[in-house]
Structure 1
Amino acid sequence: MPGPVGGHQPSLGATVRSAPPRRPVPFRQFVVKLHSRCDLACDHCYVYTMADQRWRSRPRVMSAATLARTGERIGEHAHRHGLEGVSIVLHGGEPLLSGVGGVARAVELLRRGAAPVPARVSVQTNGLRLDDSFLRLFDRLDVGVSVSLDGDRTAHDRHRRGPDGQGSHDRVEAALHRLTGSYRRLFNGLLCTVDLRNDPLTTYRSLLAHQPPVVDFLLPHGTWSAPPAGRPPDPLHAPYADWLIAVFDEWHADGGQQTRVRLFDEIIQLLLGGSSRLAGVGVSPVAVAVVETDGAIEMDDTLGAAHAGAGHTGLHVDRDTFDAALDQPGVRAQQAGVAGLSAECRACDLHRVCGGGLYTHRWRAGSGFDNPSVYCADLYRLIGHIRRTLRRDVTALRRAAR
């Protein structure tokens, strides 16, 4: 994957386009970095292999005091804005490195701090440590589980290898077998990072074998200054769109009955005039805050793929509220809707559906985030294909109704 962006990096506040003030949207999802290290050495990981290397200086595990204070700040924010519930995602690194006791303590402290506002807790894991002891705990505490799986053994083990170079696919498959047995009710879905070298239909079908309720296909992180693998500068080529279109056509052919593919569902909702809850498409305000193991309140941690400190706010749960984070220029930019898009994006006929792509992918040294996504050509082709498919469906329905 691309390395760090070189050259001078201006502060985030200096790189965002000015946008008309609007009432901030409160955070509804809180990503808690329970453990800052990982038991895999994936070469496409935005945390460890890209521009922002601050993880090296952070505590390995979030302390009980920081967990308690984070929970209190979440409850304070939810109460202030009258939220009926919040979502808390235990993340990393690999959160299960905290151990069964550490995860149990985290869930208890976070929920206790957020109370009386109910907190729906889930964990994002690579699956290596997802054994029966964790599953019993998650069953008892009602914690949902999402697992990263990049496809069959060949696809998954291209990147998701241990420090010893050994692939992790077999261990993840074993964990999924346990999860989808007696504990299926906890299964939130699969996250799959797209690699153009992997056959799209083989990848999709291997994911379907686990009967996931949801599949999230993730574009590998990159920017204009450090483009993702296989993303050519020529806008006439859209290899990631072609990959996703192959999956979409098979998914659409069976009416999406086998699983929900969030990217496709959200694009369809937007094309039909609705809104999106998925970062990277649509212009809905971003409503996610991140808390690092040291208690720092940050923006989307994928911003670390852009430049060092891109997600930095200077805030901390010990002294600052989440409302203070809503005043950050970077957060305002991601909540500005159409006004927060570049001029090139606003001139595009699909800008309300595309939404400029994921904020991280807009970065270019010199102009900051005031750009279309590095995946602009791919998003345009994918959305256009889905739009044409919907139009054909509507036409067919109308003819059938005559």
Structure 2
Amino acid sequence: MIAYTKPENQRRKDTASFALEYERAQVQRPFTCMIKLPGPVCNLDCDYCYYLEKDALYADKKYGLASFRMREDVLERLIRDYIRSQPQERVEFIWHGGEPTLVGLDYFRKILALQQQYGEGKVIANVLQTNGTLIDDRWAEFLAEHHFLCGLSVDGPAKFHDRHRRFPDGRGSLQRVLECARLFRKHGVEFNTMSVVNASNCKEPVAVYEFLRDVVGSRYMQFTPIVERVALDEEEPLSLVAPAYAKQAALMEENVGAEEWGNFLCRVFDRWVKTDVAYCYVNWFDNTLAAYVGEQPSLCSMASYCACALAIEHNGDAYCCDHFVFPDYRLGNVLEVNIAEMAKSDKQLLFEQEKKDALSALCLSCPYLRICGGDCPKNRIDRTPAGEPVSCLCKGFRMFFEHTQRYFEFMAEELRQQRPPANVMKAKL
């Protein structure tokens, strides 16, 4: 179980893997940052959002966007130090929130100016995750001109999307999202879709997939299962709690169940594998195939170790991970500690290592561990018969891996023979 108090009180992992990672961290190593420009402030009020309530961590929350917008001194220090910390020639910035477009176009022009000022000849790439509701022609032109890759949040047809992703006055947001997708296509903005799989849309997997493909025009789809726990103690500052939370907590009613998640993946795969293997890319399918050919997954939840992917709050506070923005996981502040030092700190390295060290005996004996990596530690809220933590989605992942094994084995062999994996669409398996 992951639990941090103070770094000096942490139990050191005396393992060869930790020692190797620690040694590597003493030199420059690449890491990523998810930068929360407006903190948790958003113009939508999605009922399953894990981040909206993070304003409770900051005393000045009553001032809204004015107090949460990242100050320019924080922004400049972050951009300068992040570029300097990266050993590779390509440096990627991920702009997130809340809703990052709330800070305005002029703010993003300032970002580009600072990136140019401190770029040191490196290739700078920008990724923007947006709900799409504020995108107009000016925004789309800007994003296309400067080659932003955009993630667009959309959960499927209106009966699913508008049930959860609403404006504060109760209006659904889908029509604005579809207009954003139209503008992205019109101006040539490269985008993918991010869809939260929840207790509602998990019931119609194919309808969701075909809507994203045919109506939104998505060619790269990311599906994220929602797993959150709600504290029963009303005095807790945050209602959603970390896996290490020892008091009583209940599952959020919007959560997707393990079998529902497995069924969702299987049904989407069955539709995809018939006609769309060379046409659409689905994050779970790409990463599963990568595991079959011995490549490292890009999905951190499927990796052996947690990625070094820091979450940077509006005030410069850095946390171990976007899903662990809790006081125990705070690494420091970019105005006080160089971001590279936080990325290779004992606390961060232990956080990354814990994903593997905390695997249950059930996971260690599972034939699919090499594919799933034990899932994200955030989801390890169930217990094995021996009382060890295990992902609450484990049964669903097993369903998916068992259902698709023969297809991925075929595609992996095609790749080894330097043939296109899309040949699976013609194979009789």
The TM-score with structure 2 as length reference comes to 0.78
Conserved? CA contact 2:227–2:256, under 8 Å: no
For residue 390 of structure 1, the aligned residue among 395, 402, 408 is: 408
Answering whether residue 141 of structure 2 is matched by residue 163 of structure 1, we say: no
Residue of structure 2 equivalent to 1:333: 351
Conserved? CA contact 2:74–2:334, under 8 Å: no
- The separation in 1 between residues aligned to 2:156 and 2:59, in whole angstroms, is 30
For residue 271 of structure 2, the aligned residue among 250, 254, 262 is: 250
Residue of structure 1 equivalent to 2:303: 282
- Look up the SS of the partner of 2:82 in the other structure: helix
Conserved? CA contact 1:70–1:110, under 8 Å: no
- The separation in 2 between residues aligned to 1:249 and 1:136, in whole angstroms, is 37
Name the amino acid aligned to 1:40.
Answer: L
- The separation in 1 between residues aligned to 2:140 and 2:170, in whole angstroms, is 27
Name the amino acid aligned to 2:185.
Answer: T
Deviation at 1:19, TM superposition (A): 5.9
Name the amino acid aligned to 2:344.
Answer: L
- The separation in 1 between residues aligned to 2:277 and 2:59, in whole angstroms, is 42
Residue of structure 1 equivalent to 2:80: 72
Conserved? CA contact 1:85–1:120, under 8 Å: yes
Conserved? CA contact 1:107–1:121, under 8 Å: no
- The separation in 1 between residues aligned to 2:381 and 2:119, in whole angstroms, is 35
Name the amino acid aligned to 1:326.
Answer: K
Residue of structure 2 equivalent to 1:85: 90
- The separation in 2 between residues aligned to 1:387 and 1:360, in whole angstroms, is 26
Q: Deviations over 1:340-382 (max 9, x none)?
A: 53443222221121111112222579xxxx7322212112222
Answering whether residue 105 of structure 2 is matched by residue 100 of structure 1, we say: yes
Residue of structure 2 equivalent to 1:180: 185
- Look up the SS of the partner of 1:89 in the other structure: strand
- The separation in 2 between residues aligned to 1:52 and 1:227, in whole angstroms, is 22
Q: 1:16 to 1:283 in 2, by over 3 A?
A: farther
Residue of structure 2 equivalent to 1:302: 323
Deviation at 1:113, TM superposition (A): 2.9
Name the amino acid aligned to 2:147.
Answer: D
Q: Deviations over 1:305-356 (max 9, x none)?
A: xxx3253123434433323332243443325674453443222221121111
- The separation in 2 between residues aligned to 1:217 and 1:362, in whole angstroms, is 19
Residue of structure 1 equivalent to 2:13: 18
- Look up the SS of the partner of 1:180 in the other structure: helix
The TM-score with structure 1 as length reference comes to 0.83
Deviation at 1:107, TM superposition (A): 2.9
Name the amino acid aligned to 1:227.
Answer: L
For residue 292 of structure 1, the aligned residue among 296, 313, 318 is: 313
Tell me, which stretches of 5 or more residues in structure 2 are unaligned? 62-66, 230-242, 244-248, 415-422
Deviation at 1:38, TM superposition (A): 0.3
- The separation in 1 between residues aligned to 2:141 and 2:254, in whole angstroms, is 42
Deviation at 1:97, TM superposition (A): 0.3
249-258 or 339-348, which moves further after superposition? 339-348
Name the amino acid aligned to 2:404.
Answer: I
Conserved? CA contact 2:34–2:322, under 8 Å: no
Deviation at 1:277, TM superposition (A): 1.1
- The separation in 2 between residues aligned to 1:15 and 1:345, in whole angstroms, is 24
Conserved? CA contact 1:87–1:121, under 8 Å: yes
- Look up the SS of the partner of 2:331 in the other structure: coil
Tell me, which stretches of 5 or more residues in structure 1 are unaligned? 1-8
Deviation at 1:291, TM superposition (A): 1.5
Residue of structure 2 equivalent to 1:133: 138
Q: 1:297 to 1:311 in 2, by over 3 A?
A: same
Residue of structure 2 equivalent to 1:268: 289
Q: 1:113 to 1:355 in 2, by over 3 A?
A: same
Conserved? CA contact 2:331–2:347, under 8 Å: no
For 1:9-48, what aligned pairs fall within 5 Å after superposition? 11=5, 18=13, 20=15, 21=18, 22-23=20-21, 24=24, 26-36=29-39, 37-48=41-52
Conserved? CA contact 1:44–1:159, under 8 Å: yes
Name the amino acid aligned to 1:189.
Answer: N
19-28 or 262-271, which moves further after superposition? 19-28
- The separation in 2 between residues aligned to 1:391 and 1:165, in whole angstroms, is 47
Q: 1:220 to 1:232 in 2, by over 3 A?
A: closer
Residue of structure 1 equivalent to 2:226: 220
Answering whether residue 384 of structure 2 is matched by residue 376 of structure 1, we say: no
- Look up the SS of the partner of 2:159 in the other structure: helix
Identical-residue share of aligned pairs (%): 22
Answering whether residue 364 of structure 2 is matched by residue 361 of structure 1, we say: no
- The separation in 2 between residues aligned to 1:32 and 1:111, in whole angstroms, is 18
Q: 1:12 to 1:319 in 2, by over 3 A?
A: closer
Residue of structure 1 equivalent to 2:236: none
- The separation in 1 between residues aligned to 2:154 and 2:11, in whole angstroms, is 34
Conserved? CA contact 1:47–1:55, under 8 Å: no
- Look up the SS of the partner of 1:88 in the other structure: strand
**Number of matched residues?**
376
Name the amino acid aligned to 1:63.
Answer: R
- The separation in 2 between residues aligned to 1:197 and 1:67, in whole angstroms, is 38
Conserved? CA contact 2:305–2:356, under 8 Å: no
Deviation at 1:114, TM superposition (A): 4.1
- The separation in 1 between residues aligned to 2:116 and 2:74, in whole angstroms, is 13
- Look up the SS of the partner of 2:228 in the other structure: coil
